[in-house]
């Protein structure tokens, strides 16, 4: 079912600007959904080199996660969106983030200028990291059976969104003076040293 148009929430109307691209002299190779079903859209994603990911009803959009698993390179046009897991993933290796005020011929020229090797590097990195954006289904859920059947994000690869959240929490864990893994002393110059159990400096 059609979810209706996305409301305009101020700033650049990104979707309207993207649709204008098809009217450019060299816009004939662009494909737009225009109310297409999910099956048709997912097939189009799978055949594309790049997929536009405009902002949704909020700063983020489900489209990013769809295109990551379709394998096309996401071109994110949502200025205020900070991607999940930037704390430990280099998102610049698998996402192109383009300013919403610069949607036009320059964007298409840039995308078409990228050599196959660069596009392939983006796609390879997408395949390597995309499971961090996958929430594992419950073991008795039919989705769990489909996941195992199709070998999508198998548990043994150690990547899923829940583990990603735990990884971030671990990175943010505070090491206080009273922590059993935090030690401190002053060196011969009087400079305070904070170290872990291996006597390596704490970061």
Measure the CA–CA gap between 161 and 2, rounded to whole angstroms.
28
* Whole-prediction pTM: 0.72
Residue 146: the pLDDT is: 57
pLDDT in tens, 55-109: 877 666 788 888 998 889 999 888 888 888 999 999 999 999 999 889 999 889 9
> Is the pLDDT score of 189 beyond 60?
yes
Q: Which residues pair with 184 in a beta bridge?
A: 194
- pLDDT tens-digit readout, 111-121: 999 999 999 99
Say whether 85 sits in a helix, a strand or coil: coil
Give the span between the Cα atoms of 149 and 155, in whole angstroms.
13
Is residue 7 over pLDDT 80? no
Choose between 32 and 163: higher pLDDT.
163
More confident residue, 98 or 173: 98
End-to-end CA distance of the chain: 50
């Amino acid at each position: 079912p059609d979810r209706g148009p996305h409301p305009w929430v101020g700033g650049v109307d990104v979707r309207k600007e993207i649709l204008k691209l098809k009217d450019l002299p060299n816009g004939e190779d662009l494909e737009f959904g225009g109310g297409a079903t999910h099956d048709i859209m997912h097939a189009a994603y799978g055949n594309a080199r790049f997929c536009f990911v405009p902002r949704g009803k909020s700063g983020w959009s489900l489209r990013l996660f769809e295109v990551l698993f379709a394998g096309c390179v996401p071109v994110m046009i949502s200025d205020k969106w900070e991607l999940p897991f930037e704390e430990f993933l280099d998102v610049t290796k698998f996402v192109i983030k383009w300013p919403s005020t610069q949607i036009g011929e320059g964007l298409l020229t840039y995308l078409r200028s990228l050599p196959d090797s660069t596009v392939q590097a983006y796609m390879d990195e997408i395949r390597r990291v995309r499971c961090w954006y996958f929430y594992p289904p419950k073991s008795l859920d039919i989705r769990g059976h489909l996941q195992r059947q199709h070998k999508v994000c198998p548990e043994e690869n150690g990547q899923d969104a829940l583990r990603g959240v735990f990884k971030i929490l671990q990175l943010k864990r505070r090491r206080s003076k009273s922590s059993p893994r935090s030690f401190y002393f002053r060196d011969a110059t009087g400079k305070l040293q904070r170290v872990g159990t291996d006597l390596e400096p704490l970061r």
